[in-house]
Every structure is written in C-alpha cells, then in structure tokens.
Amino acid sequence: MGSIESIMLFRTVRSAYILGLWLADGYSWSSSIGLSSADIRLLERFAEFLMMLFPKNRLRLRIYQPANFHRDISRYLKLTENVVKYPHSKARQPNCHLYVNSRPLLREFRRAENKLLKMPNNLVPPYFAGRFDGDGSVDQDFRRDCRIVYSNLREAEQDRRLIKKNLFISSTIYYYKTAKTYCLYISRMDAPQFLKNIKPYSVVLNDKLSLPRRD
C-alpha cells in the first residue's frame, strides 16, 4: 500500500481540497472517478486538478438537463470538448458529471479516504474547504447552522474526529430521518474560527457573488 507520505492526495493544498470536494460531491465507477455538481466553479477546480495528471482529451463531461433547457453550454467546453447532453425529466437545472477513466487514480482516492485520519495537519483546512464547498452551508451571520452534510454516519464521525484532533473545533452530528442524511454541525462558538481556517482555500467563501447558503 505504501507509506502515508506517498499518498498523492496528502502532498499539497490543492490535492487535499480536491479530496474533500470529491468525498462531498464525487462519484466513482469500476474504472472511473469524477465529480457530480451543478456548480461550474467546482467543476473547473476539479478539471484543473485532473489536467495536472491527464491530457485534456481524457476528460469526459455528461450534462443532465431539463428537456426544455436550451441554454448555451459553451462555458462547459473549456473543461473538455468531450461533452454529451442527456435530457432528464426530473432535473430542475443542469447537473454535470465530470470524470476520467483511470483505475490507478480511483485506487489513490480510495486509499486516501481510508487513511484520512492520518492526513498531515497543514492539509486539514483545505480538505474541509473542499468538503464545505461541496456539501456545506452556513447562515448569513457566519455562526449559526454552520454544517456539512453526509450520506453515512461513518464519514461524519471520521470528520468529527479529524476536525477535533487537528483544528480543535467542537461539533455535533445529527441524523435527519426524512432526508436520510447526517449533518456535522460546527459549534456556534467555533464556527467563525472554522470558517476563517478554511476560507483561504474555499471557492464558495471567496466568491463575493455567492452568499453562504443553507441547504
């Protein structure tokens, strides 16, 4: 498996952010790894990472959009020219799957996921910036309802341990039965410090046109 230091996603701020973003909004198949998002900013960030490893023509993009949606998709073409559109009757807005076929890269992401609690301390803030950009929200006072959403308890508990151990941030996990999701709520006392820690790396928090949002 190699040493912890050899894990590619534990080497740089950029890769740690991408790992957090992928764990929030990513998906994988047997030989593919990618990001599922309606946010072009996050897709661009993920594409930049992939193009450090692969030529642009290796990237693939699927756009699922409402049947009567005819907006120009030229803004997506800078991600890759390999774009396929699919009508989706239940879609309210376009949702994109940006991916690359690479079993070795998928294995690397899985390995990093399994060793997450051993991530170097300096990479924990950018990792949580990726998590927050993908599945996080906060009230407009930047204190209340600062949270990250998870689909399973294991990931939520792992991040709770990581944020306590490395950032000394208190948090609580709540389960919402109707939505079948787990939410990691950052303590109101610690929320401003948490946001300060991740802001230098966050796409969402540094976009003046994008207010922090509540899901």
Mean pLDDT of the chain: 88
- Residues 107, 126, single domain; the answer is no
pLDDT digit string (tens) for 87-117? Answer: 776 667 778 899 999 999 999 999 999 999 9
- Residues 63, 143, single domain; the answer is no
Neighbouring residues of 64: CB distance < 8 A, sequence distance ≥ 6:
86, 88, 91, 94, 95, 96, 97
Strands 26-28 and 83-87: unpaired
- Residues 90, 60, single domain; the answer is yes
- Residues 100, 185, single domain; the answer is no
Give the per-residue SS3 of 30-60: CCEEEEEECCHHHHHHHHHHHCCCCCHHHEE
Place of tokens 């927050």: 132
Residue 208 is predicted with a pLDDT of 55
- Residues 12, 108, single domain; the answer is yes
Rounded to whole angstroms, the Cα distance separating 33 from 98 reads 8
- In this prediction, residue 75 has a pLDDT band, given cuts at 50, 70 and 90, of confident
- Residues 83, 171, single domain; the answer is no
Task: Give the domain range for residue 128.
Answer: 120-201
> Does residue 206 fall inside a structural domain?
no
Q: What does the DSSP assignment read for 77-105?
A: TTT-S-EEEEE-TT-SS-EEEEEEE-HHH
